[in-house]
């Protein structure tokens, strides 16, 4: 490389300037000191962002091997997650494109021409104009560089970098949503299986009751109204059973979609819900800024929008492009490498917009409005996250109280059924009374199972609202 070209490269490397536009400041937030729905006295503590860390295999807290298998299958096969990963790769490539503007472009070219000039072209002086035939061979190395005097490229790189971080946070959020949806679908299926079994048992009891009522109706011991009411009760139970089967099938289809397979390939043996809800560590409100990937994504969107203000503002300032070339030119191939064939050039191109009809001003205004929009979305995302945690905590408390009362009711119904069964064996109660108390006990048990299913679903919602796993 010639000394002149080396000098040009050195000068280009030394050119640098300050970046126009505002430097990024994270939007301030007033977070609560504790959860309104929590009773453990937790207080607020400052939290530094650490949102891009994986959320961990939080579902293992449920200690269910089938759920563990389904979660791993979903993480491998889910197409929404694959699409989020592809968006990360797109953002990484875009960052590479933006960063490449910091480097000069270097190109190698070769041009060979054979030219016949016209003898009828205008001449100069008194000499005769003749036609000439000549060759021209040019071998050159060219360099071009845009000096980032006012930081347009720097701000563009900042925007692309924030965009990459945002897409990474979106990927983590997609993973968190996916694993939570799989757990919710799994627990819903388990709850529906138990509900279907109880509905079947209830229908069997009601069929036996209907047979007794029909016999007594034939003997004139009961009215037609009693018979119609028992038929209605059985019909309603059978209808509920069919609806439960439909919900179970739809839930299985939804689970298959989450796993990235068709419904026929879902392998799920019949089983009951786990017996005990796990203890879920309750993060402090400030920790949501660390843990929630959707909050991280919204915050990175603010950073990208802030950088775009600088990109738009840079149009107010002049631009400088440096070009340099070094090469060889000769009419004969044989003399191309001779010293007299050497040729070089070094140039500067300066440009400054003097009038653009308000285009730059409008672009800056658009970028500033985009920053305001992203900031509002970020704050709304944080408030929504706080609401989701508070809702889940309130549901956890009220569902636990309702489950306690429901268990008491079920215990009472079971005792009544046992007493009536004893009286029936002694002849002190009728068969119909015995069947009615057994049906009441099954109905109470169904209420218990439904509340248990809601508690498991709410446990998943709480973990998701808190941002996934803990202790990473």
Q: How far apart are CA 217 and CA 234, in angstroms?
A: 17
Q: What is the pLDDT of residue 118?
A: 85
Least confident of 97-106, 220-229, 378-387: 220-229
Looking at residues 299-315, what average pLDDT do you find? 94
Looking at residues 404-433, what average pLDDT do you find? 86
Domain positions in the chain are 21-103+150-316+360-465
Q: What is the pLDDT of residue 78?
A: 95
Q: What is the pLDDT of residue 4?
A: 55
Strand partners, 348: 322
Spatial contact of 123 and 268, defined as CB atoms under 8 Å apart: no
Q: What is the pLDDT of residue 54?
A: 45
Tell me the three state secondary structure of residue 21: coil
Looking at residues 140-168, what average pLDDT do you find? 92
**Does the pLDDT value for residue 31 go beyond 90?**
no
Q: Which fold has domain 21-103+150-316+360-465?
A: Outer membrane efflux proteins (OEP) (1.20.1600)
Q: How far apart are CA 173 and CA 170, in angstroms?
A: 5
Q: What is the pLDDT of residue 10?
A: 55
Band of pLDDT at residue 2, cut at 50, 70 and 90: low
Q: How far apart are CA 435 and CA 415, in angstroms?
A: 14
* Joined tokens for residue 400: 């636990």
State the pTM of this model: 0.83
Least confident of 80-94, 233-247, 430-444, 448-462: 430-444
Q: Give the distance from CA 160 to its chain's centroid.
A: 18
**Does the pLDDT value for residue 442 go beyond 80?**
yes
């Amino acid at each position: 490389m010639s000394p002149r070209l080396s000098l040009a490269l050195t000068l280009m490397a030394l050119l640098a300037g300050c970046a126009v536009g505002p430097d990024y400041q994270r939007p301030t937030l007033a977070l609560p000191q504790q959860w309104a729905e929590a009773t453990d006295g937790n207080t607020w503590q400052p939290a530094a962002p650490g949102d891009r860390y994986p959320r961990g295999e939080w579902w293992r807290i449920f200690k269910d091997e089938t759920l563990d298998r389904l979660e791993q299958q979903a993480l491998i096969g889910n197409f929404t997650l694959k699409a989020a990963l592809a968006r990360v790769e797109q953002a990484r490539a875009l960052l590479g494109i933006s960063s490449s503007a910091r480097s000069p472009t270097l190109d190698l070219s070769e041009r060979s021409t054979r030219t016949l000039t016209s003898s009828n072209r205008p001449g100069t002086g008194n000499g005769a104009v003749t036609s000439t035939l000549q060759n021209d061979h040019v071998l050159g190395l060219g360099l071009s560089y845009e000096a980032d005097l006012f930081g347009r490229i720097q701000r563009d790189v900042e925007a692309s970098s924030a965009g990459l971080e945002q897409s990474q946070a979106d990927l983590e959020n997609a993973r968190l949503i996916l694993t939570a949806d799989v757990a919710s679908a799994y627990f819903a299926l388990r709850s529906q299986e138990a509900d279907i079994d109880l509905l079947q048992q209830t229908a069997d009891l009601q069929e036996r009751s209907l047979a007794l009522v029909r016999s007594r109706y034939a003997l004139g011991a009961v009215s037609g109204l009693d018979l119609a009411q028992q038929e209605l009760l059985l019909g309603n139970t059978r209808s509920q059973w069919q609806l439960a089967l439909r919900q179970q099938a739809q839930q299985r289809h939804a689970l298959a979609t989450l796993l990235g397979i068709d419904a026929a390939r879902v392998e799920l043996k019949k089983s009951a819900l786990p017996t005990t809800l796990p203890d879920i560590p309750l993060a402090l409100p400030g920790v949501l800024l660390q843990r929630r990937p959707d909050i991280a994504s919204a915050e990175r969107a603010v950073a990208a929008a802030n950088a775009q203000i600088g990109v738009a503002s840079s149009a107010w300032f002049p631009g400088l492009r440096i070009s340099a070339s070094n090469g060889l030119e000769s009419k004969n191939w044989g003399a191309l490498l001779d010293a007299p064939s050497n040729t070089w050039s070094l140039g500067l191109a300066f440009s400054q917009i003097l009038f653009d009809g308000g285009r730059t001003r409008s672009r800056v205004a658009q970028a500033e409005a985009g920053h305001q929009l992203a900031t509002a979305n970020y704050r709304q995302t944080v408030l929504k996250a706080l609401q989701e945690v508070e809702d889940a905590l309130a549901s956890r408390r009220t569902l636990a109280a309702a489950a306690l009362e429901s268990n008491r009711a079920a215990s009472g119904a079971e005792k009544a059924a046992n007493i009536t069964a004893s009286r029936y064996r002694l002849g002190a109660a009728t068969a119909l009374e015995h069947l009615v108390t057994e049906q009441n006990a099954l109905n109470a048990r169904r209420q218990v199972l439904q509340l248990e299913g809601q508690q498991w679903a709410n446990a998943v919602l709480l973990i998701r609202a808190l941002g996934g796993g803990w202790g990473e």
